[in-house]
Structure 1
Amino acid sequence: MRFIPLLLTSLLLSGPLMLSAVHAGGIAKPSQTSRRAPMNQVLKRSEVPAENRWNLEDIFKDEQAWEKEYQANKKAMKEVAKFQGKLNNAADIKTCFDLEDQISLQAERLYVYANMKHHEDMADPTYQALSDKSKKLSVEANEATSFISPEILSLSDEQLQKLVNDPELAFYKRTLEEMIRQKQHVLSKGEEALLAQVGNLAQAPSTIFGMLNNADMKFPKVKNEKGEEVELTHGRYIQFLESRDRSVRKQAFETMYATYAKQKNTIASTLAANVTNNIFYSKVRKYPSALEMSLFGDNIKKEVYTNLIDAVHESLPLMHRYMELRRKLLKVDELHMYDLFAPLVDEFDMDITYEQAKQTVKESLKPLGEDYLKVLQEGFDNRWIDVYENEGKRNGAYSWGAFGTHPFVLLNHKDNLNSMFTLTHEMGHALHSYLSDANQPYRYAQYTIFLAEVASTLNEALLMDYMLHKSTDKKEKMYLLTYYMDQFRTTVFRQTMFAEFEKIIHEKAEEGEALTPQLLSKIYYDLNVLYYGKDMVVDQDIEMEWARIPHFYNSFYVYKYATGFSAATSFAKQILDEGAPAVDRYLGFLKSGGSDYSINILKRAGVDMSTPEPIKQAMSVFKELLEQMETLAK
């Protein structure tokens, strides 16, 4: 079954966590000119103009249409049950697989629509209920089809091999080969059905954290540069940290983590429950560890994960050198954690409207060819994108969708450089999905999370290259270099630090240690000292940052940002150096979907992630950028 919402395989969150924040706050009507709210006001969903909202009617015309497909999905689940005990011949297996795809696609469409409606305003009880209904349905779908794999795998090795080679099952050959690979981790029919039934319990930690973080968590007001009191929200937090007024940055930083500290016991219990889930499933399915279970689906060896951490550790002196340069450019005696996003260029702001951002993104992606640009423009023109923040809207940015309709993109756009990069990042995801779906059948269209961040980050690399070459102003160039360096910091170094944190806390739990808020905070604080260096002031408040990272509820996910960034860096260099041949290889990658293992798909396109070389190449680019900054700073 392709669609597994419990594991969030279809949801592609935004890249660097600096781009991922909750947006909530007050109420205001848009002006006729801006069509959006000022920074200290947030629109109600009903006040957002239609052209700035995604058109979910492209999936379902209305809730009656949704309900009709819901009932059809329920009926199909009853039909598939008739195949229990009959999956021992090619004809029945093929018919059963066909029906499984139907159930999976319907469940995907229902789940995606309901949850995207929920994300428009997470306080709206109507779509909270529809989201819950879709989640329960996906559990039922998993349960209804849970007998298929174990029943087929109960056949003898000789029978299985015969099925793999049967012409009638040629379309499903890769499915059968993958089932055989996973045979040692598949349980009996009864056990698989039981695991499917407890699927709702497995979702609980993520659901609870999401509601606490997005709907219930409220922050005090802080004073902006003008001395005005403004409500602190996740969406405004990074903007405060980008303030030129150090007292504003410090106040926002301390207020944010003081608020989380008040909930530390609850959030620690939620995160610990998520880790317990992972360990439970890894033991039940006979994996050596939760980490290896998470890597197995992509057929990724543990060494890819550990090599990333080791390679980044080797390059930490470069990070420490960058921190020292940042201190000098800020002209402060000590660099604090709340100084990491402070602008390094005096009196230089890039005010970029959404319309300007779209045009610049389009220009920067010209190296990918006219066919790519045509689909990009289609997304811009046909309401694929939900643009601005509104009251209750889900945090951050993502690309999501269901097979058979175009992808959608959720943004919380601000008129700045960061939001322009978020736009190109998420459209990279969207076009990857579009091209995969257009060139692969449903069963093999879904690419893995391991591949997901490559296309999005490649778009960012091309945008940065375009802007650096276009710039003739020293201040602007320094500003752009700073931004690019911070992309490396947040996407490679920071995400690797997150990955190491996840690895440590799972190992501690697997050894029987309790994940108390005190232990989580100590582990997290010590990692910050390691990654940022002893010459930087690692403020004690940062020990609570683990409590606000939603990615920790999609465990062992974030390392893929770092590997994806490295692969994208390699692809960008090839495209800019070689032109058409490299573009053809890259577009072939985008069209491959999940038709082969991730490592193989990348290798065919010219990037070998089974070695540490792409990580080292990315670090060499980081070093070159650092040297350029140091030269400009003289």
Structure 2
Amino acid sequence: MTSAMPKRQEIDVQLTWNTDLLFPSPENYKENLVAYAEQVAAFESNFKGKLADKGIIVAALTEYEKIVILDSRLSHYAFLPLEVDKMNTELASLANEYDLVSAKARPQRDFLYSELGQLDEAFLLELKEEQLQWAAFFDAILRDKPHQLHPLQEELLSNFAPTFGQPYNNYGVTKFEDMTFDNFEANGETLGNSYVLFENDYELSHDTEIRRNSAAGFYSTLKKYKNTTAATYLSHIKNEQIEARLRGFDSTIDFLLHSQNVSRDLFDRQIDVIMKELAPHMRRYVKLVAKAHGLDKITHADLKISLPSEYNQRITPEESKQFLIDCLGILGEDYVKMIEQSFDERWIDFAQNEGKATGGFCATLYDGPSYILLSWTGLMNEVLVLAHELGHAGHFQLAKKQSVLSYDPSLYFIEAPSTANEVLTCNTLLKNNQDPGFQAYLISELISRTYFHNMVTHLLEAAFQREVYTRLDNEEYLNGDILCQIKLDVIKKFWGEDFEIGDDAGLIWMRQPHYYIGLYPYTYSAGLTIGTAMAKQLEENPEEVVEKWLETLSLGASLSAQDLAKHAGVDVSTDQPLKETIAYVGSLVDKLEQLI
């Protein structure tokens, strides 16, 4: 038997998201694209070179908000359909039309930042006090001011923005258009392989032959594209390094952290403390799971499995709706209505099909839905992914209380609401079912999905990034083999000597698109640190904490990441929340040892 992914057109429409909520037709989208281009041209004509008077600045920002909101709608309509059907040339053509308009519009818009940055600091502070709805926007202008270039240089960089974004596009082409995976044999059957099948199913399979054989085939294909993918990634980070130096930063890492408004200390702390203190708990956990599966050895292909259990049953997307409402209902009526709306209005793409992007994400329109991408397996792991993405949806739907210019919080905080939902879901289930078998199963799922994914997988990516950027700034030579060795060393350091980490594990860096989004990977562990603390508070004192938590989510970017966490009741200025989170994982492993 050979399993094959269905084509997009073969998928039941109820398992797909509804992008008609953005524009009712491609024709309407194109009409709005023309209107957007005209709107941006008028904005440039009306305001460029004139931002010296407070009244004119307020008028410009009011108009700019409208431009940003329309651009968001257009970009999502252009690219969301392509995310689920990457080989569709008609959809690619629609996306290309947006790219062409956006490339011209960017410098016509971006003069706003450059001209405001040239203004006197005292004047900007006055504006901030008078226009509080844009306070965070003005804070960002003031923070960027020391690193601002001459307006002509800023305009030149803005014109080159599409070129700077090309490495990420090239990565996607290699991954989704060029890579094809051979079938593999397991248990006397021939099975198809792909990014989606491997990452969403085979890698987590409790069938050792399927898991290990699929991994061997998967990495065999990745290896063929190692050097091309390395060249793509290295071109991206060299672009970042050039801009960092132009703007006067001491290092590329400092440049990337600046956009998050996060200190180097917080970044290094997440990596160093987790590498040292979480690793022993995770080694203990994996050994418990391996013993339960009767494994003869523990290879890298075995690290992500959970305990074997009769409770490991698949559920349908429709069943997951009530399941998550029951678990997250503590967050209030409006939050439950948001979950219902996401199902009823088809914000969620559950389908598994050929040409679909891997992983999961949530993309929210300021004036519209929160689109969630999944590849639904129905296993508890996937249910937790959905809880995670609904956390992002709830966050950004609430953040709409802010101006669109003060909407996106620091990446350091961005994963807190999503990971809090994962922990809250599992803790609710644990409280409601005291059966030892179920408790063991769910604790295993919580560790293997929530903590493994966010505090091991992504944290090891962060450690890899730190080493790569350090070598880059030290002007050391980098290529595909060196990147693989860096990744392999990081993985081996975390897991120690008792695991058989083969050379193929070094190829894992090739799987992660987050490397093209700055220093994103470490923020998962930062968010989970806040999320774990919040889940505990929500359980222990919901009457007081729920309202405060939802209020924090509604603040958007109006506070820094540290202040947002503090507003919610978590002080990340010290390492205590992180150490408490690690201790909590240790307590879960302790309990698992008692249960099995």
Q: What is the CA distance between 1:530 and its match in structure 2?
A: 0.7
Alpha-carbon contact 2:388-2:422 (below 8 Å) kept: yes
Alpha-carbon contact 2:134-2:403 (below 8 Å) kept: no
AA in 1 matched with 2:345: N
- SS at the partner of 1:146? helix
AA in 1 matched with 2:83: H
Residue of structure 2 in register with 1:11 after alignment = none
Q: What is the CA distance between 1:187 and its match in structure 2?
A: 1.2
- SS at the partner of 1:408? strand
Deviates more, 1:204-213 or 1:236-245: 236-245
Residue 340 (structure 2) pairs with residue 380 (structure 1) = no
Deviates more, 1:344-353 or 1:245-254: 344-353
Match of 1:480 among 442, 446, 449: 442
Alpha-carbon contact 1:104-1:141 (below 8 Å) kept: no
Residue 34 (structure 2) pairs with residue 71 (structure 1) = yes
- SS at the partner of 1:99? helix
Match of 2:494 among 531, 538, 544: 531
Residue 314 (structure 2) pairs with residue 371 (structure 1) = no
Which runs of 5 or more structure 1 residues have no equivalent in the other structure?
Answer: 1-37
1:518/1:94 Cα in 2 relative to 1: closer, same or farther (>3 Å)? same
Residue of structure 1 in register with 2:256 after alignment = 294
Residue of structure 2 in register with 1:519 after alignment = 482
Residue of structure 1 in register with 2:510 after alignment = 547
Residue of structure 2 in register with 1:629 after alignment = 592
- SS at the partner of 2:362? strand
Residue 297 (structure 2) pairs with residue 334 (structure 1) = yes
1:578/1:163 Cα in 2 relative to 1: closer, same or farther (>3 Å)? closer
Residue 294 (structure 2) pairs with residue 304 (structure 1) = no
Deviates more, 1:313-322 or 1:451-460: 313-322
Q: What is the CA distance between 1:110 and its match in structure 2?
A: 0.7
Q: What is the CA distance between 1:561 and its match in structure 2?
A: 0.7
Alignment map for 1:94-243 (pairs within 5 Å) = 94-165=58-129, 167=130, 169-225=131-187, 227-238=188-199, 239-243=201-205
Alpha-carbon contact 1:453-1:565 (below 8 Å) kept: yes
Match of 2:363 among 400, 404, 413: 400
- SS at the partner of 2:165? helix
Residue 352 (structure 2) pairs with residue 389 (structure 1) = yes
AA in 1 matched with 2:455: V
Residue of structure 2 in register with 1:314 after alignment = 276
Alpha-carbon contact 2:137-2:406 (below 8 Å) kept: no
Q: What is the CA distance between 1:295 and its match in structure 2?
A: 1.6
Residue 404 (structure 2) pairs with residue 442 (structure 1) = yes
Residue of structure 2 in register with 1:257 after alignment = 219
Alignment map for 1:249-288 (pairs within 5 Å) = 249-288=211-250
- SS at the partner of 1:309? helix
Deviates more, 1:292-301 or 1:442-451: 442-451
- SS at the partner of 1:383? coil
- SS at the partner of 1:139? helix
User: Deviation per CA, 1:569-609, whole angstroms, max 9, x where unpaired?
Assistant: 00000010011111011111121112222221221111122
TM-score, normalised to structure 1's length?
0.90
1:105/1:346 Cα in 2 relative to 1: closer, same or farther (>3 Å)? closer
Alpha-carbon contact 2:459-2:521 (below 8 Å) kept: yes
Q: What is the CA distance between 1:347 and its match in structure 2?
A: 5.5
Deviates more, 1:90-99 or 1:498-507: 90-99
Alpha-carbon contact 2:552-2:564 (below 8 Å) kept: yes
User: Deviation per CA, 1:478-519, whole angstroms, max 9, x where unpaired?
Assistant: 221111121312211221111010011011111111221111
Alpha-carbon contact 2:36-2:67 (below 8 Å) kept: yes
Which runs of 5 or more structure 2 residues have no equivalent in the other structure?
Answer: none
Tell me the distance in 1 between the aligned counterparts of 2:455 and 2:99.
Answer: 33
Residue 539 (structure 2) pairs with residue 579 (structure 1) = no
1:475/1:507 Cα in 2 relative to 1: closer, same or farther (>3 Å)? same
Deviates more, 1:573-582 or 1:544-553: 544-553
AA in 1 matched with 2:63: L
Q: What is the CA distance between 1:158 and its match in structure 2?
A: 4.4
Tell me the distance in 2 between the aligned counterparts of 1:606 and 1:428.
Answer: 18
Tell me the distance in 2 between the aligned counterparts of 1:355 and 1:603.
Answer: 37
Tell me the distance in 2 between the aligned counterparts of 1:39 and 1:67.
Answer: 41
Alpha-carbon contact 2:399-2:556 (below 8 Å) kept: yes
Alignment map for 1:1-20 (pairs within 5 Å) = none
1:77/1:340 Cα in 2 relative to 1: closer, same or farther (>3 Å)? same
- SS at the partner of 1:182? helix
Alpha-carbon contact 1:103-1:141 (below 8 Å) kept: no
- SS at the partner of 2:184? strand
Residue of structure 2 in register with 1:597 after alignment = 560
Q: What is the CA distance between 1:472 and its match in structure 2?
A: 4.1
User: Deviation per CA, 1:445-480, whole angstroms, max 9, x where unpaired?
Assistant: 333332221111111111111222233443332221
Match of 2:572 among 609, 627, 630: 609
1:247/1:386 Cα in 2 relative to 1: closer, same or farther (>3 Å)? closer
Deviates more, 1:149-158 or 1:96-105: 149-158
1:65/1:448 Cα in 2 relative to 1: closer, same or farther (>3 Å)? farther
Identity rate, percent: 26
Match of 1:496 among 440, 456, 459: 459
Alpha-carbon contact 1:345-1:475 (below 8 Å) kept: no
- SS at the partner of 1:200? helix
Q: What is the CA distance between 1:333 and its match in structure 2?
A: 4.0
- SS at the partner of 2:63? helix
1:516/1:39 Cα in 2 relative to 1: closer, same or farther (>3 Å)? same
- SS at the partner of 2:415? helix
Tell me the distance in 2 between the aligned counterparts of 1:444 and 1:505.
Answer: 32
User: Deviation per CA, 1:397-453, whole angstroms, max 9, x where unpaired?
Assistant: 21113211121112211121111111111111111111111x223222333332221
1:620/1:170 Cα in 2 relative to 1: closer, same or farther (>3 Å)? closer
1:597/1:141 Cα in 2 relative to 1: closer, same or farther (>3 Å)? farther
Alpha-carbon contact 2:408-2:556 (below 8 Å) kept: yes
Residue of structure 2 in register with 1:7 after alignment = none
Tell me the distance in 2 between the aligned counterparts of 1:527 and 1:181.
Answer: 34
1:45/1:248 Cα in 2 relative to 1: closer, same or farther (>3 Å)? closer
Tell me the distance in 1 between the aligned counterparts of 2:139 and 2:289.
Answer: 52
Tell me the distance in 1 between the aligned counterparts of 2:501 and 2:33.
Answer: 51
AA in 1 matched with 2:196: G
AA in 1 matched with 2:547: D
User: Deviation per CA, 1:234-277, whole angstroms, max 9, x where unpaired?
Assistant: 12214223334323222111111111111111011111111112
Tell me the distance in 2 between the aligned counterparts of 1:446 and 1:157.
Answer: 24
Tell me the distance in 2 between the aligned counterparts of 1:533 and 1:254.
Answer: 22
- SS at the partner of 2:260? coil
1:185/1:212 Cα in 2 relative to 1: closer, same or farther (>3 Å)? same
Tell me the distance in 1 between the aligned counterparts of 2:243 and 2:576.
Answer: 33
Q: What is the CA distance between 1:362 and its match in structure 2?
A: 0.9
Tell me the distance in 2 between the aligned counterparts of 1:436 and 1:423.
Answer: 20
1:242/1:175 Cα in 2 relative to 1: closer, same or farther (>3 Å)? closer
- SS at the partner of 1:555? coil
1:250/1:275 Cα in 2 relative to 1: closer, same or farther (>3 Å)? same
CA RMSD of aligned residues (A): 1.9
Match of 1:508 among 467, 471, 475: 471
Tell me the distance in 2 between the aligned counterparts of 1:88 and 1:594.
Answer: 25
